[in-house]
Structure 1
Amino acid sequence: MTKMQRLRTVMPRTRTGRAIAGLIIGAIVVAASALAYELFGGIALAVAIGAIGALLVIVAARVEVQARRVLAKQDVQTLKQLRRIQQDGQAVQHELGRLRATLVESELAVLEAQAGVSEMRGTVATKADLQFHYAQVQAAINLFGQFEVGASVPQMRGWAASPDVLLRLVDLVRARQPRLILECGSGVSTFWLAMAARKYSPGSKVIALESSEKYALRTEALIEAHGLGAFAEVRRAPLEEWDGVGTWYSRDALRGVSDIDLLFVDGPPESTGPLARRPAMRVLHDLLSSDAVIIMDDMKRPDEQATVASWQREFGPLIESEFDVEKGASLLTRASEG
C-alpha cells in the first residue's frame, strides 16, 4: 500500500468528517488540560498541554491541506490519464474506421476485377461464337453458290444438319460419285445430297430411311418442290426390334438395298435410347460396297463416340478421319482402301 493509499485510508472521506475529527481532537486537548489542572493544579502544565493541543490541531490542519493538495494532483493526473485513454480510444476507433473503409475499397476492387474478367471471358466467347457462326454462313454461301435453288430451303442447324457437314457430303458426292447413298434419317440433308447427285453424279440415288411420318412428308414435299424425285426417295421405316441387334429401322424399308457406296448415319433420334445408332453397322455391314464410306454425324456426343469405337472393335479395321464441323463428324473407310 502506498503512502497516498494509507493517507486516504486514515483521513476521513468528506470535508464534514474531517471538521468533526478536528473538533474532537480539540475537545480532547481541552479536556486533558482541565484534567491536568485539577490533578496537578498548575497553570503552566495546563498551558503546555493546551499549546500541545493547539499544535496538534495546526498539524492536523496542515496534514489536511497537504492531503487535499496531493489528492488534487492525483485527481488531475487521473483525469489526464482518462483523457489520454479516451483520446487513444478515439484514435483506435478512427483507425478501425479507416481500415474498414480500406477493406471495403479492396473488396470493391476485387469485385470489379472479377467483373472485368467475366466481361473479358464473355468477349472472348462472343468472338469465338462470331467466328464459328461466320464459318457456318460461309459454308451455306458455298452450298447455295454451287446450285440453282428455285424454291425455299428449310433452316439448317439445330436438329437439322449444319451447313459445314452438308458441304462435306456434297464434296464427297462430287469426288466419289456414289451409285447408292443411304441416309439414316431424312430432311435438309436429303435435299442437298439429291442436289449434288443431280449436278455431279446423275447416276446416284439417295434413299432416306425415316421413322417419323411427319418428317417423311416434309422431306417429300421438299424433294418435289425442287424437282428432285428422280434422285431421292424417302422410305417410311418405323423403328422395330432386330434379334441380337436392338431397335432400328424396319426390315421392309431395306428391300432392294445393296452395294451402299455412301452411308450417312444421322438417325435414329437420340431420344430413341442409348446407343441408338449402333445397330446401323450390324444391319448394313454386309450391304456396303467394297469401297463404301460411312459418315457418322454428331460425333461430339458420347453415344456416337462409343458407337464408332464399338464398330471398330466389331468390324475393324476401319480408318477414321474426323471432320472439324459444328456437331463433329467422322468419316470411316475400310483399311484396305487406305
Structure 2
Amino acid sequence: MEPLALAIQKVAGSNLGTVCYIGAGSGSWLDDIAVLKPTKLLAYEASEELFSALKNKCKKYDFVELHNQWVLPKGVGECEVTTYQNPRYNSLVPKENSFSHAKSNLDYSVQHVSGIPLEQAIDAQNIDASKNNVLILDIDAELEELAAEANDNLRVFSSIFIVSKKKFSGSHYLLGNSADFIECPQVISQDVIPFTMLIRNNEKLNEAKTLEDTQQKLNKKLQEVETELASAKEALKTYQSKNEELVQQKDKAVDALSQKDKELTSKNDALSELNITLTHAQGDLEEQKKWHSTHKERAEKYLAELEKSKSTAQKAQQLESDLNAQIKVNTELKDELSTLKNQLDAAIESTKLNNNALETITEQFKHMQQDALADLKSKLHWKIDKGLNNAVKQVESFIGVQRFLEKGEISMEFHGWPISSDIALYLLGQIKERDYDLIIEFGSGTSTQLFAKAMEFKALQEPKSEKTSSTKVANKVESGANSSVVTFEHNKKYFEKTQKLLKQKELLSMVKLVHAPLIDIESNGESFLYYDCETELNSIASKFAKHSAKMLVLVDGPPGSTGPLARLPALNKLLNVLGHHQLDIVLDDSNRAEEKTIIAKWKETLEARFVPFEEEEIPCEKGAYVLRLNP
C-alpha cells in the first residue's frame, strides 16, 4: 500500500467518509485508496488524456465519481493555464515563472479555461461533516505561497493531505489561510513520497460554537427575565422549571465526565499494548542481529576457501608466462621469415627473373605470412580462453568438493551457459532486500534452482524476522504460497532436466515449471517466436487481482538463435497482463549489441504508455540491466 494511503488509514481509521482527490492523474493511487473502502471517492482531473486513463481504471468501482474540469481558488471561475506535452506538468503557473527544471525543455501552450471554484465543488456534494472526510491536493507546488481568502467550506473535512516536496508555509492558493486546520507530523516514514498532513482544529471550532450557543442562551435568559417581571407568579414557576433543567444538565455533565474518564482509561490500555508490541519488536531485532552474525561467520569461512584457491591463480600466471614465451618464439619465427625473404630477393636478383614472376612470388609469400600469423593468433586466444575457463572451473570444483565434504551436497555451476555467479549473488541480495511476492523466469536452468532455494529460505525465516500481517498471509493464500517461482521453458529436454534437478533438491513444490513451446506472435507490428505463456500470466493476474504485488522477472530466453531481438516481446507480455503491479525486470547478457537495442525499444514503449520506471546497469561478467516498473 502506498504511503499516502497508509497515512489516511492511520488518521481516518475505519469510519472513512468522502475522499476528494484533486489532481487525480491517471489513477495510479486508486487501488490503494479503494482498499480503505470510503463512502464516496470524488476524483478531479483537468487533462483529457489522463482523465481517459483514470476513467478506464475506475470502471470496477461503483463508488467513484469522476470530474474532468479545473478546480480553481475561491471565487475564481476562469483563468489562463499553461499546458505541456506531458499533461502531468499542466499548471496555473506561466512557464517563464516556473522554477521546475523538469519543465524547462518541454513544449507548451497557454490556454484560457473555465473551471469550478473549490467551495462550489464542495457544496455541490453535500458531504456529511460527521464522518472522517479527506481532501487530497496533488497539484502544482509552485502556487502554494499565493495565499487566498480563508475557505470555510473546508470544515467538512477532518484532514487534508498536500502532496508536495516544499515545506508547508501555513497557506495554500486553493485552501486559503488554513486557520481551521493545524499541521500534523507525518504518521509514516518521510523517505517516500513527501506530503503535508493538516488536521481539523476541532478545539477552535468547538469554542466558536460554544460562544454562539452561549449567546443564544443569554438572549433566551433576557426574554425569560422580562417575562418574570410581568408576573411574579409566572416567574416562580419559571424559576422552578429552570432549576429542574439545571439539575438535569448537572446530571448530564456528570455522565459526560464519567464517559470521558472511561475513554482515557481505554487509551491508557491501548498505550500499554503498544509498549508490549514494542518490546516484542526489540526481541525480533535481537534475533535479526544474531542471524546476521551467523552469516558473517559463513562469509568469512568462504573467504578463507578463496585464499586456498590462490594456487590455482598462480597456475594461471604460469600459463601467462608460457604464452609470453610462445610470443617470443613467434617473433624469432618472424625474423627467420624476414631473412628468408631477403635470401629470396637476392636469388631473384641473381637469376634476373621477370617482374611478373617476382610480384607473384612476393604476393604468395605475403599471403603465407598473414595466414601463419592469423593461425598463431587464433591458437593463442584459444589457449588463453581454455586456461582461464579451466582456472574458473577448478575454483568452482574445489568449492563444490568442500561443500560435499561438509554438507554432502554438490554446488551449482555458474560458468558457461548458466547465469554467472556475480549476477546470481546480486539477485539473491534483491530477493532478501525487496521481499518479492513472486518470481517469474523466462528460460530455466541454474537460476531456477537458485530462486527456489532463496524463496524457501525466505519463507523459513519470516516467522523469526517479523510478525506476518493478516493482509500478507491472505495474499500468500490467494497466490499459492507453495509456488513462489513460475518458470517458462520451451525446450522439452531442458524442461525435463530442470524438473529432475528440482525434484532431487526437494524444491519442486516451490516452482511452477511450465512447458511453453515457442509460437508465432505479433508485437508492435513485428513477428516473433515467443513462449506460449498467455494462459499462465492471466492466472497470475487473477490471483493478485485484489492487491498490488511486487514481482521479480528474469528475462534469460528465448535464445538469440530463434530470431533477431528474440527477447523483445517480454515487456509487452508483462504490461498487458500485470502492468499495474510493481515489476523488477532483469535482462541478462546486456553487454551484447542486440540486448542494448532491446533496452532502447523497451524504454520507448514505457514512455509512450506513461508508465513510470527506474533503470540500473549491473556491472558483471556478461552484463545485466534492471528495469523497475511502478517503483
Shift of the 131–236 alpha-carbon distance from structure 1 to 2, 3 Å rule, reads closer
1:230 alignment partner in structure 2: 509
Kindly report the root-mean-square deviation, in angstroms, between the aligned alpha carbons of the 2 structures: 3.9
Distance 1:228 1:192 in 2: 10
2:601 aligned partner, one-letter code: S
1:256 alignment partner in structure 2: 539
Alpha-carbon shift at residue 173 of structure 1 (Å) = 1.1
2:595 alignment partner in structure 1: 304
Greater shift after overlay, 315-324 or 252-261? Answer: 252-261
1:272 alignment partner in structure 2: 562
Distance 2:596 2:618 in 1: 13
Does residue 184 (structure 1) correspond to residue 466 (structure 2)? The answer is no
Alpha-carbon shift at residue 231 of structure 1 (Å) = 1.3
Q: Secondary structure at the match of 1:220?
A: helix
Q: Secondary structure at the match of 1:268?
A: coil
Distance 2:584 2:394 in 1: 24
TM norm structure 2: 0.31
Distance 1:328 1:189 in 2: 16
Distance 1:262 1:234 in 2: 16
Q: Note if contact 2:393-2:415 (Cα within 8 Å) is conserved in structure 1.
A: no
2:14 alignment partner in structure 1: none
Distance 1:136 1:264 in 2: 28
2:619 alignment partner in structure 1: 324
1:133-172 correspondence to structure 2 within 5 Å: 151-153=409-411, 155-172=413-430
2:494 alignment partner in structure 1: 215
TM norm structure 1: 0.55
Q: Secondary structure at the match of 1:243?
A: strand
Alpha-carbon shift at residue 280 of structure 1 (Å) = 0.2
Question: Normalized per residue, which structure has more helix?
Answer: 1
Distance 1:161 1:256 in 2: 28
2:227 alignment partner in structure 1: none
Q: Note if contact 2:486-2:513 (Cα within 8 Å) is conserved in structure 1.
A: yes
Q: Note if contact 1:183-1:266 (Cα within 8 Å) is conserved in structure 2.
A: yes
Distance 1:212 1:180 in 2: 23
Alpha-carbon shift at residue 149 of structure 1 (Å) = 6.8
2:539 aligned partner, one-letter code: G
Using CA pairs under 8 Å that are at least 6 residues apart, name the structure with larger relative contact order, 1 or 2: 1
Q: Note if contact 2:484-2:510 (Cα within 8 Å) is conserved in structure 1.
A: yes
1:313 alignment partner in structure 2: 604
Q: Secondary structure at the match of 2:567?
A: coil
Distance 1:307 1:164 in 2: 22
1:1-338 correspondence to structure 2 within 5 Å: 151-153=409-411, 155-201=413-459, 205-244=484-523, 246-250=528-532, 251-258=534-541, 259=549, 261-285=551-575, 286-288=577-579, 290-316=581-607, 318-334=613-629, 337=631
**Structure label with greater radius of gyration:** 1
Aligned residue pairs total 224
Q: Note if contact 1:239-1:248 (Cα within 8 Å) is conserved in structure 2.
A: yes
Q: Secondary structure at the match of 1:230?
A: helix
Q: Note if contact 2:489-2:515 (Cα within 8 Å) is conserved in structure 1.
A: yes
1:3-54 residue CA offsets vs partner (Å, 9 max, x unmatched) = xxxxxxxxxxxxxxxxxxxxxxxxxxxxxxxxxxxxxxxxxxxxxxxxxxxx
Q: Secondary structure at the match of 2:514?
A: strand
1:285-322 residue CA offsets vs partner (Å, 9 max, x unmatched) = 14156332110001111111111110011014532211
Q: Note if contact 1:151-1:225 (Cα within 8 Å) is conserved in structure 2.
A: no
Q: Note if contact 2:442-2:488 (Cα within 8 Å) is conserved in structure 1.
A: yes
Distance 1:136 1:275 in 2: 35
Distance 1:131 1:214 in 2: 26
Alpha-carbon shift at residue 260 of structure 1 (Å) = 5.9
Q: Note if contact 2:419-2:446 (Cα within 8 Å) is conserved in structure 1.
A: yes
Q: Note if contact 2:439-2:486 (Cα within 8 Å) is conserved in structure 1.
A: yes
1:30 alignment partner in structure 2: none
Distance 2:586 2:496 in 1: 24
Q: Note if contact 1:260-1:289 (Cα within 8 Å) is conserved in structure 2.
A: no
Distance 2:595 2:394 in 1: 22
Distance 1:136 1:312 in 2: 41
Consecutive unaligned residues in structure 1, runs of 5 or more: 1-102, 108-114
Greater shift after overlay, 243-252 or 259-268? Answer: 243-252
Q: Secondary structure at the match of 1:256?
A: helix
1:155-181 residue CA offsets vs partner (Å, 9 max, x unmatched) = 322221111111111111111121110
Shift of the 176–150 alpha-carbon distance from structure 1 to 2, 3 Å rule, reads farther
